Amino acid sequence: MKIIYFISFLLLSHLLHAQVINKQLSVTSAYAIDSNSTWSVVDLKQKNFHSFKQNDKVNIGYNKYAAVWCAFKIKNTDRSHSVKAWLCFNNNHIDSLTLYDNQIVKTIGDRTDGQSPFIETLAFELDLKPGEEKQFLVRVKKQTSFLDFSYSIENTAFLASKSSQRTALVAFFIGIVFLLLMINSILFLMTRNRLYIYYIIYSVLTVFYAAITTNFAKHILFPQFKFFSECRVYTGALWYIALSYFLNYFLKLSENQPKKYKFINLLNALNFSFVLTSILFLIFYKDFDFRYFFILGYIVFLMSIVTLFWASVTHLKIEKTQAIYALLAFLPQFIWGACLILKTFEIIPKSLSDNWMVFIGLYEVFLFGYVLSRNYIEIFLKNNELMQQVIFEKESSIKAISEVQLRERRNIANIIHDNVGSKIAHVIHLFDLKNTRLAQQTIKELAEDIRDISHKILPKALDDGALVSSLHSQILSLNAGLEGTKIELFSYDFPEKIDVDWIYDLYLIALEIINNSIKHGKSKLIIIEFYKYEKQYHFQFTDDGVGFDVMATHKGFGLENIEKRINYYGGNFEISSIKNQGTVIQIDIPGIN
């Protein structure tokens, strides 16, 4: 390996200048591109090297067979102290980095068993004695992808600090995401809403992509796995497809913007087909040129980003809150994706770092997790409020029924006490006087009174469905006992007998309305009209009483109870009234088809 020193000396003798990293180290560097990866160390002395400095980007674009050789000459200018530093390469997804240092050969990278000590970067340790100068060669190789990299010289404390920060950041990100996944899994099991499934799939792929992109998966989780470069590309594509489906469902694009919805789905289908096809070619045709797959994939990816962003902006006119959430979450993604694509095609010199991917992913997943959880809480509270209303309505109905029963019982008790009770006492008194003839006559009168009471409570004819005749009979009795008030009943095409469950309730409702018109409305004329139409029965009650302001006056217990009973049969109850102009009540009940 001594030849390396000779070759390095020849190669570096023509470099433009040395880059001073700090007071202790000076560095000169150069690179050459081996287009077919066929060079050996001995061949390098005949090759043309180009100088580059620390943090200068070497970008060879799409690469299939090429390797890049880098030559370094590093000198410790301090003649009193040794220097320990690290030669770092800023692309964590290089397949292999091979360092040639005299008799020492070290290899690290995605496709090797060797692993960098730091998650932050791919780094080789340098140990220079006072005044010592060393030459190194590094071979950079990445297959079937775009390749760029730069180098820097860093100290251990800096790299350890940066790596600890990245490890903690990614671990925190993964922990938060899995917490949100657990919450949204529970919400899915409770609601069966597909939106939560889309969110879960999108979040899981976000974790995978962030873990691979930040080197967390290679450095911490699966150091022996050798296909992270491919996994990064495919996971990124699937991750964005999942995000597209999530936003489609979140914004309800299929209903609100069907054309954009279909176009986005078409782009997702194209991206997915690219993924499947490239995997097949990668397995069975390893020499296939994937350049056009990458280019087409990036173009489709960019079109999808622009369309989704456009759809989110358009959605502001449809559902402002959801659109704002989508834009807030999607804008960083849009910027990051656009920068990545523009940088890949060398339109801009630099894209956002991998750490930005973690921040953006955490921000998006957390924001959508919060939005979905908050939406569920709002729905839960609304449902709880509705349940409380239902419970209140049931309690009110029970109370109404109890009050009706109590009032009817009081009426029956009053009739029995005032009429039946007094006559029974009179009969007993007549028997005590041994006036049998008058007692028998009184008993006959009592029997007639009991029949009248029974008929008033619920006529026997109702059992046969004779609603009109039953009510007509009761109205005749009422008119006979009223002074200054007249009740009239008319029926139009209404059947003499009707076999429906609601005739008993309607009979009692009619008496309730009559009682209200007389007692509260002080009516002189009450007109009742029964109609039979093809699909419904219509009942109208009109009086010329004092009326009331419907908007300002509570319906009261009686009218509320009537409305509930009508609603129970699927009917409709309407009341209109004007002060000093009377009241009109209309009831519609569906007919039997």
Q: Are 256 and 318 in contact (CB under 8 A)?
A: yes
pLDDT top residue among 440 and 574: 574
Query: Which pLDDT belongs to residue 388?
Result: 74
Q: What proportions of the chain, in percent to the nearest 5, are helix, strand and coil?
A: 55, 20, 25
In angstroms, the CA 273 to CA 276 distance is 5
Q: Are 235 and 212 in contact (CB under 8 A)?
A: yes
Q: Are 246 and 195 in contact (CB under 8 A)?
A: yes
Q: Are 530 and 586 in contact (CB under 8 A)?
A: no
Q: Give me the mean pLDDT over the 332-349 stretch.
A: 68
pLDDT band at 7 (very low <50, low <70, confident <90, very high): very low
CA distances (Å), origin 398, targets 178, 224, 393, 564, 568: 48, 72, 9, 11, 14
Q: Give me the mean pLDDT over the 139-149 stretch.
A: 85
Query: Which pLDDT belongs to residue 451?
Result: 62
**Helices assigned H by DSSP within 458-583:** 467-481, 503-519, 556-568
Say if residue 407's pLDDT is above 70.
Answer: no
pLDDT top residue among 379 and 317: 317
- Cβ neighbours of residue 413 closer than 8 Å, sequence gap 6 or more: none
pLDDT in tens, 163-195: 898 888 888 888 888 887 888 788 788 778 888
Query: Which pLDDT belongs to residue 16?
Result: 34
Distance from CA of residue 493 to its chain's centroid?
Answer: 55
pLDDT band at 488 (very low <50, low <70, confident <90, very high): very high
CATH class of the 163-385 domain in this structure: mainly alpha
Q: Give me the mean pLDDT over the 114-125 stretch.
A: 89
Q: What percent of the chain has pLDDT over 90?
A: 17
* Beta strand extents in 96-200 (DSSP E only): 96-101, 104-108, 122-128, 133-141, 145-149, 151-154
Say if residue 231's pLDDT is above 70.
Answer: yes
Query: Which pLDDT belongs to residue 207?
Result: 84
Say if residue 11's pLDDT is above 90.
Answer: no
Q: Give me the mean pLDDT over the 68-85 stretch.
A: 91
Q: Residue ranges of the domains in the chain? A: 2-154, 163-385, 459-590
How do 486-492 and 525-532 pair as beta strands? parallel
Long-range contacts formed by 409-414: CB under 8 A, 24+ apart: 412/453, 412/457
pLDDT band at 85 (very low <50, low <70, confident <90, very high): very high
Q: Which of 78-92, 324-338, 361-375, 392-406 has the lowest mean pLDDT?
A: 392-406
DSSP 210-244: HHHHTTHIIIII-TT---HHHHHHHHHHHHHHHHH
CA distances (Å), origin 247, targets 188, 228, 260, 311: 17, 28, 12, 10
pLDDT band at 530 (very low <50, low <70, confident <90, very high): very high
| Phi (first) and psi of residue 132, to 5 degrees | -80, 145
Q: Give me the mean pLDDT over the 246-273 stretch.
A: 88
Say if residue 453's pLDDT is above 80.
Answer: no
Q: Are 2 and 35 in contact (CB under 8 A)?
A: no
In 3D space, the residue among 265, 244, 9 whose CA is nearest the CA of residue 134 turns out to be 9
DSSP 58-110: EEEEEESS-EEEEEEEEEE--SSS-EEEEEEES-TT-SEEEEEETTEEEEEST
CATH class of the 2-154 domain in this structure: mainly beta
Positive or negative, the Cα torsion across 74, 78, 80, 82? negative
Say if residue 2's pLDDT is above 80.
Answer: no
SS3 state at 416: helix
Say if residue 272's pLDDT is above 90.
Answer: no
Which residues does residue 62 pair with via DSSP β-bridges, in sequence order?
146
Q: Give me the mean pLDDT over the 504-529 stretch.
A: 87
In angstroms, the CA 376 to CA 192 distance is 12
Query: Which pLDDT belongs to residue 542?
Result: 93
- The torsion region of residue 61 among left (phi > 0), alpha (psi -120 to 50) and beta comes to left
- Residue 40: CA count within 13 A, CB half-sphere: 3
pLDDT top residue among 269 and 347: 269
CATH class of the 459-590 domain in this structure: alpha beta
Helix axes 467-481, 436-457, angle to 10 degrees: 120
Average pLDDT, the chain: 79
Say if residue 278's pLDDT is above 90.
Answer: no
pLDDT top residue among 405 and 262: 262
Most confident of 175-179, 327-331, 414-418, 422-426: 175-179
In angstroms, the CA 76 to CA 439 distance is 139
Most confident of 66-75, 245-254, 416-425: 66-75
Distance from CA of residue 298 to its chain's centroid?
Answer: 28
Positive or negative, the Cα torsion across 89, 95, 101, 104? positive
pLDDT band at 12 (very low <50, low <70, confident <90, very high): very low
pLDDT band at 4 (very low <50, low <70, confident <90, very high): very low
